[in-house]
Structures are given as C-alpha cells and as structure tokens.
Structure 1
Amino acid sequence: MRRMTTENKLSWIRLAAVLVPVMFSVPLVLGFFGAAHPLFDSFAHFRMHLAVLMAVSAIPALILGLWREGLMAMVLALTALGTVLVPSPAPSAEAETAQPEYKLMQLNLRYDNRHQADVLRLIAQEAPDVITLQEVSTAWRPKLKAIEARYPYNLYCPNRSHIGGVAILSRRPFALGTTPQCVDSLIGLARVDFGGRSAVITAIHLDWPWPYGQASNVETIKPYFERLQGPMIIAGDFNATGWSQTLKTITEVSKTSSAEGLRPSWLVNGTFAHAARWVGLPIDHILVSDRIVQTRVETLQPVGSDHLPLLLRFSISGVDDNGGPDQQTVLRQGNHIF
C-alpha cells in the first residue's frame, strides 16, 4: 500500500512537471497573435516574463527524466525570449557633416509622486531642450510652473482623470505659424524649431491593454500620425512593450522606429524603481523618424515615479532620402503641424 502511494505521488509530480510549463506556454504562444485580438496582445506584453517562468518550470521535468517534454518547453521558452532580446541594429553612419546635438527627456511623472523636488533637480541637471511628460496632475502644475522661465514654450493637454494629462515643455520656440494641439488627451503635438530645422515632438500616454482601451486609443491617433510630415519624435508611456502589436501599428503608421533597444522602465511603484531596469516592463519608448539621426538613449536615475526617466540625444538631418535638401525641415511662415 505504501509503495502504491509513493508511486501515485511520483506520478502526480511528473504530471505537474509537464503541465506547469504547458500552462505558461498557452499565453506565451497566444501573445504572438496580437493582430487577431487585443486580448492576445495583452499576453504579448508579458512575453519576457512568461518565457523566463516557462524555462524555470521546465527544470523539474528534466530532473525527473522527462527529457523530451523538458527540452521542448525549454526550446520554446528560449525561442520566445530571443524575440525580445535580439539587439537593435547599430545606427548607420551619416553622410553629412555632424549636426548640432539636442536633448529630449521623457518621463511619466506619476500623478502622486512625493519626490517632486527630485524631478526638478534632474531637469536642472540634464537641461534638456524638450521634455515630454505624462500624468501631469493638478498637484504637478504649480511645480512645473516654477520652471516655465526656463521652458517658456509649453503645451498642457486636459486631464483625462485624476492622474492628469500629457505635456510638452520646450526651451526652444514652436515653429513659426504652427499651433500645438492635443488629441483626446492621448497625445500632445508640437512642431519645435531647433535652430532653423523643425521636428514634430509628440508626448503620448495610452491606456492599459485589453480589457482597457489601448486598442481604441491606437485607432483614434492613427489618422494623425499618418498625416504628419518631416522629422518626428514620439515619446511617452505607451503601456505597451516594444514587441507588441500596439507598437508595431504605431511605428508603421508614423514611419518611425525605436531609438533604443530593450529598456525596462516600469515596475509597480517608485519604491522598486531601482529594480525596474532589470526586471521591469519596457513600456516607455522613444520613436524617431529617419531624419532624427545620431540618436543615443540612456536611462536616468529614479526620481520617485514608478517609471524611469529616459534621455534622448539626437540631431536633425537636413538631407532627405534622395540626398537633397529636406524642405520639410526648413522653417517657413505658415508651416503648420500637418
């Protein structure tokens, strides 16, 4: 009887060693079909974490001698992990002479951040030319007003809720004849004059994935990105990973690409912000068009938010794809955003 009981326990353990990796494999595989339904795209955001969990859960199967099942689970997990860890291609060398370098800082402030002074100190330390912000709540407005002397050109979009809206702060003037605008409080758009060449700066904050409204958000903003012309930078809290269908759709319609590789930036709350760069979700992104060149992105120190700040260093090319002067980058009166 005891032997039978022992054999039953071993059978259950072996069954669990097979079923647990299978359990992780279901959402992992479905995440590759984000174009079919937003639910599957929600799974995709956790692809990196699901792949690691699946690989770890396959170890007991290997220990118990279930080599075929264990190795199949391990191969699937590592293959999925490879799709998010592939290094970004190195930027191509520019044929033209070196252009002036500018800086853009991207940060989701967190609406109830208790360390507002740390944010302002970081801005003063880095002195970016342009800042894109999210969760600019009512509590943040007096603090940001204090730096408007240094950033006199600004766009504040209406609050969507108590967490606030998006904003663009700039030391450089908005392009002559243009009017910054907000789109459903999802994105703020401003064409900024960078020493005679203009670039569209976009601050973006999307809802969470399905069952929340992220897919609907993308449909709302797609027509605007399809119409925008010239050099462009889209920075913000996308609430979506770089390998998600959401990012794929936005990069396709805006004709942009990521200025950085895998860069975990969010983790629960500010208490764990230092760990975010290792185990967090990479949901804060900076996308650039092909005329934004010589780009470098770095992750800055935590400043009380559950998101880490990003700093983009960039230049603006004055040559179009055919090698001639890019007329879209030259400022002219009446040069509107669209």
Structure 2
Amino acid sequence: MALIWTFVAGLGGLALAGSFLGALHPAGDSLAVFRLWIAGALALWLLLGTGLGLCRWTWLILPAVAILPVLWAYGAPEGGGERTIYQKNMLFRPKDLGPLEADIRSAGSDIVMLQEVSDANQPILGALSDMLPSQTFCPGPSVGGVAVLSRWPKIDGTEVCASGFAAMRVRSPDGPLWLVSVHLSWPWPRAQAAQVRRFEDRLSMLDGPVVMAGDFNMVRWSAAVRRLARASRTAPAGRARGSFRLADAVPIAIDNVLIPRGERGASELRGLFGSDHRGLVVRY
C-alpha cells in the first residue's frame, strides 16, 4: 500500500510541478489548464496518506501554494469603466444570429472580438455595421476566421491579418488604440506554441496601447498567455471566467480579454447563443 501511495503521490507532484513549466515546454501549459483539479486531487491523496501515517499534514502546503495563482485569477479585484469589450467565439455552425446580435447591442459594446466567423455566421458583421461601422475580418481555416468591430473610427491602412489573428487601429476617445482578436489552436501536442511565437512577433510591432481578446484555448496563468501579454504590453482584465465547458462538464477559462497595463476592468459572462463558448464582457 505504501509503495502504491508513494507512486501516485509522486505522479501527482510531477504533474503539478509540470504545470508551472510552460516556458520550458508547451506540455507544461497543457497541464496548467488543469492545475486546479490536479492540485485538488493531490491534496485529497495527501490527506489519505496523512490518515494512513504515510506523510505529514505539512505536505498539503504544496498543492495549497500551487493553486494560489488560479485562485487569484478567479478572485482578482475588479474595477469597471466606460469602455465595453464583447468577446465571443461564435462556433462556426449555422444558427439564429438574432439573440447574439441583440446581446451585443444591449451590452453597449464599443469593441467586439469574434472568432469562428464562418460563411454561415458572417452576416452578423453587416447586421452590426450601423452600431459598429469599423470592422476588420480575416478569413481562417475550416472553422472560420476572426473579426474586430468597433464604434470608433478606423485608422486607414492599419489592418493586420493572419490565420487566427486580426488587428486594426482606431481613434478611441482616449487616443489611437490597437484592437486585436485572436484564436489560438489547442495546446500541446497541437500547434499552439508555434502560433504563439508568430503572434508575439506581430504584437511586438504594434506601437501604442493594445486591447486584445479571443479564444486563447489557454488559461491566463499559463506561459503562453503571459508571453502574448508581455508582447502587447497588456494584462488580463477582471476575473477569470469559466467560458467553456470541457466535455460539457468542466468549466475552463480559455476566453480572455487583455487591456493596457495599469487599467482595471470588470468581467462578466454572457449567454451561449448557439455556441459552445459563453460570451465575455469586460468594462474597463
């Protein structure tokens, strides 16, 4: 029994430690998505070991400390503002776009970031053009492209397009502002790490303040999101929100909104509206 317990505890400890090593290998970021559950399972296993006399209760400090960044993300202090960002992975399948359009309007959105903009749901761009006339759409692979919409005037010639990346610069009430919508692929063993490297280069070339949002397929406490935040001089806004349910059960916060460093924001979840991702609204 002691040997089995030690083996399982060792695996749990390695997985938990690995979730902090995304900067060394993208597999660490894949583990970071599940850090809360890994730490919870390890804590329960250590409690069992404590009851059996196989370890000391002080060992529980390890998973407790490990989840502090996660708890901070979900409980971060918030402060709202007058600017409103609406982030949404629409899901590429055909659907009634009316409820989503109505929610974007009711939120009073100044900026809208969309992913999986397919032929079936691209008409929402035209439907919102009266409220959000400045738009950039960048086509993508089979699941669709990404789009940026804003009520503020677009600065001509500033559009940047790539697979999973759309950017434009607008004249906001606070001055010129870059707006960036991103859609990252699934993490390791998929190609997210290579995509992050490409996006880092593009973001580093954008001068001035940036607002970035999208379906990152990655949590904010990962190395991948930190790298993109560093390249864009931004920070996650408000609290992390479980916008996507893995296997229709486990909520994970893989939709993120990042705003210029030093700003404060407040986040809230919106409805599904035919997608598998809930919308995310940030006021900053």
With structure 1 as the length reference, what TM-score do the two structures score?
A: 0.75
Taking a change above 3 Å as real, the CA distance of residues 222 and 61 of structure 1, as seen in their structure-2 partners, is: same
Of 54, 57, 60, the residue aligned with 2:48 is 60
Residue matched to 2:268:
298
Is 2:69 the counterpart of 1:83? yes
Residue matched to 1:205:
183
Q: What secondary structure does 1:34 align onto?
A: coil
CA contact (8 A) 2:210 2:233 kept: no
After TM superposition, give the deviation of residue 163 of structure 1 in Å: 0.8
Q: Which amino acid aligns with 2:43?
A: A
Residue matched to 2:91:
110
Q: Distance in 1 between matches of 2:9 and 2:89?
A: 35
Counterparts of 1:274-313 in structure 2, within 5 Å, are 279-290=250-261, 293-313=263-283
Output one character per residue of 1:39-98: Cα deviation in whole Å (capped at 9) or x when no partner: 222222221221112122333323333343x652x3222121113213677579xxxxxx
Point out the structure with the larger helix share. Answer: 1
CA contact (8 A) 1:62 1:71 kept: no
Q: What secondary structure does 1:33 align onto?
A: coil
List alignment gaps of at least 5 residues for structure 2. Answer: none
Q: Distance in 2 between matches of 1:260 and 1:145?
A: 30
Taking a change above 3 Å as real, the CA distance of residues 294 and 282 of structure 1, as seen in their structure-2 partners, is: closer
After TM superposition, give the deviation of residue 229 of structure 1 in Å: 1.6
Taking a change above 3 Å as real, the CA distance of residues 45 and 294 of structure 1, as seen in their structure-2 partners, is: closer
Taking a change above 3 Å as real, the CA distance of residues 263 and 89 of structure 1, as seen in their structure-2 partners, is: closer
Is 2:179 the counterpart of 1:181? no
With structure 2 as the length reference, what TM-score do the two structures score?
A: 0.89
Residue matched to 1:229:
207
Is 2:239 the counterpart of 1:261? yes
CA contact (8 A) 2:46 2:55 kept: no
Output one character per residue of 1:226-245: Cα deviation in whole Å (capped at 9) or x when no partner: 12122210111111111111
Residue matched to 2:225:
247
Q: How big is the alpha-carbon RMSD for the aligned residues of Structure 1 and Structure 2?
A: 2.5
CA contact (8 A) 1:268 1:306 kept: no
Q: What secondary structure does 1:56 align onto?
A: helix
Residue matched to 1:154:
135
Q: Once the two structures are aligned, what percentage of the paired residues are identical?
A: 32
After TM superposition, give the deviation of residue 16 of structure 1 in Å: 3.6
Taking a change above 3 Å as real, the CA distance of residues 40 and 192 of structure 1, as seen in their structure-2 partners, is: same
Q: Distance in 2 between matches of 1:145 and 1:101?
A: 25
After TM superposition, give the deviation of residue 164 of structure 1 in Å: 0.4
Output one character per residue of 1:94-128: Cα deviation in whole Å (capped at 9) or x when no partner: xxxxxx82211011111126453331221122130
List alignment gaps of at least 5 residues for structure 1. Answer: 1-10, 93-99, 315-338
CA contact (8 A) 2:77 2:238 kept: no
The answer to which of 189-198 and 83-92 deviates more is 83-92
Taking a change above 3 Å as real, the CA distance of residues 197 and 111 of structure 1, as seen in their structure-2 partners, is: same
Residue matched to 1:195:
173
Of 186, 190, 193, the residue aligned with 1:215 is 193
Runs of 4+ in 1 over 6 A off after TM superposition: none
Residue matched to 1:122:
103
Higher RCO (C-alpha 8 Å, min separation 6)? 2
Point out the structure with the larger strand share. Answer: 2
